[in-house]
Amino acid sequence: MELIDKSRLQPFAPTVQQRKFMVSMFYPVSSHKSTTLVNYMPPATAAFEDSSQLSDTGSAGLISPNGTFEKLALQLAGKSPQTQGTIDFPIVLFSPAEATTRLFYSVIAQTIASSGYIVITIDAPYDVDIVEYSDGSMDLINTTVAATATEADIDLAVSTRAQDASFVLDQLRNASVISQLIPGSSQGLNVRKVAMFGHSLGGAATAAAMLNDSRIAGGLAMDGSLYGPVVQEGLDRPFMLMAHTNHTRTNDSSAGDPSNSWFDIWPNLRGWKLDIILANSLHYTFSDLPIVLETLGIVPNATIANNLHVTDLNGSRALKIVTTYVIGFFDMVLKYKPSPLLQGPVAAFPEVTFER
């Protein structure tokens, strides 16, 4: 669904435009007799990702036939009106990595939703690779800004995404918006207490949104760095960090966090906090990419896997680890259910270590 905030302009756009972006919503249903296959990506986006992700002309150097992404589909419950007029599940927002469409996290979002959450993934035009709208028009990433981004550019991108999150929450209260997202629903949603997570720049947006919007009761950052005032001001609500291998919370300007933001924010996190590291992982282990490659039967060699920022960790296993820990955090924040997963290492997930 396309949302337009007429009070703001699109940063990084080539012309003056009102802020607009796409969102996807995943929500559970109590029971359903039929399922339907829904394209993983709309046609133009799928073709774009074929050329940029899986082509020998793309940045990763992984050769795969055109039409690869067009073959992918999500299995979802068939559309039918809600019989109760509305649904009442906790709400979770998601913000993707820079240069990465929200659609590359749909399997993660679907999995989390199946545990009893409404999950809304939010795109960020001109700082993700492609946003395709319902009418077929597209906004591509501003390659100039992406290649030469200053600290001010990054701060602007993060603050814009944070404002998008608050705007989405405002819109979710609107019955007419919800009726388009949830067929048969006649009421807006309860957004007084929600949670948010994000990957890379999306994790930074999560922290920034929490600082400015008290409705966000907990946040989780999957890898990357944090930016803006929140690093020094900190947060008084639960915040969790999930890192790839060797992304430790240090002040040595490592490649995983050159600004040392995790090290700097840690003492300023005044609420519950946790930092875990996933063994045999890289930056895009925290996306759908591992399960996409597994589903397609693609096994990249070590060089190409490194270019894709993934490892040989099984895609199903990566999805299981990431979503299980994310769900455990949301269960604690929004359902008041303590999880042993968040208290220390467990035998079921030896890949996860705790950074105290």
Q: Assign residue 327 the CATH number of its domain.
A: 3.40.50.1820
- The predicted pLDDT at position 86 comes to 59
For the cut 60, the answer to whether the pLDDT of residue 84 exceeds it is no
Q: Tell me, yes or no, whether 43 lies in a domain.
A: no
- The predicted pLDDT at position 81 comes to 57
59: confidence class by pLDDT, cuts 50, 70, 90:
low
> Which region, left, alpha or beta, applies to residue 10 given φ > 0 means left and ψ of -120 to 50 means alpha?
beta
More confident residue, 187 or 140: 140
List the Cα angle 236/19/284 in 5-degree steps.
Answer: 60
Q: Tell me, yes or no, whether 37 lies in a domain.
A: no
Percent of the chain with pLDDT over 70: 93
Q: Tell me, yes or no, whether 333 lies in a domain.
A: yes
Q: What is the pTM of this model?
A: 0.95
- Assess contact for 127 and 142: CB atoms under 8 A: yes
The alpha-carbon radius of gyration of the chain (Å, integer) is 19
Q: Tell me, yes or no, whether 39 lies in a domain.
A: no
For the cut 60, the answer to whether the pLDDT of residue 57 exceeds it is no
Residue 97 token pair: 């990595």
Could you count the other beta carbons within 10 Å of the beta carbon of residue 169?
A: 21
Residue 78 token pair: 């068939």
- The predicted pLDDT at position 58 comes to 52
- Assess contact for 4 and 19: CB atoms under 8 A: yes
Contacts 24+ apart (CB under 8 A), 49-57: 49/101, 49/129, 49/130, 52/129, 53/308, 54/298
Count helices and strands (H / E) in the chain.
11, 13
Q: Tell me, yes or no, whether 60 lies in a domain.
A: no
In this structure, of 132-136, 142-146, 255-259, 345-349, the range with the lowest mean pLDDT score is 255-259
Q: Tell me, yes or no, whether 156 lies in a domain.
A: yes
Domain ranges, residue 333: 2-29+90-354
Question: 271-299 burial string, b = 16+ CB within 10 Å, else e?
Answer: eebbbbbbeebbbbbbbbbbbbbbbeebe
For the cut 90, the answer to whether the pLDDT of residue 64 exceeds it is no
Extended strands (E) in the chain: 2-9, 18-26, 35-39, 73-77, 91-95, 118-122, 130-132, 138-140, 194-199, 216-222, 239-244, 273-278, 352-354
83: confidence class by pLDDT, cuts 50, 70, 90:
very low
Percent of the chain with pLDDT over 90: 75
SS3 per residue for 124-189: CCCCCCEEECCCCCEEECCHHHHHHCCHHHHHHHHHHHHHHHHHHHHHHCCHHHHHHHCCCCCCCC
Question: Taking all residues of the chain, what is their mean pLDDT, rounded to a whole number?
Answer: 92
77: confidence class by pLDDT, cuts 50, 70, 90:
confident
Report the alpha-carbon distance of residue 174 to residue 188 in Å, rounded: 5
Report the alpha-carbon distance of residue 310 to residue 102 in Å, rounded: 18
Q: How many CA atoms lie within 13 A of 310 on its CB side?
A: 28
Which residues fall within 8 angstroms of residue 266, CB to CB, at 6 or more apart? 249, 273, 275
Q: Please state the length of the chain.
A: 356
Q: Tell me, yes or no, whether 142 lies in a domain.
A: yes
Count: domains in the chain: 1
Q: Tell me, yes or no, whether 84 lies in a domain.
A: no
- Assess contact for 126 and 173: CB atoms under 8 A: no
Report the alpha-carbon distance of residue 283 to residue 298 in Å, rounded: 19
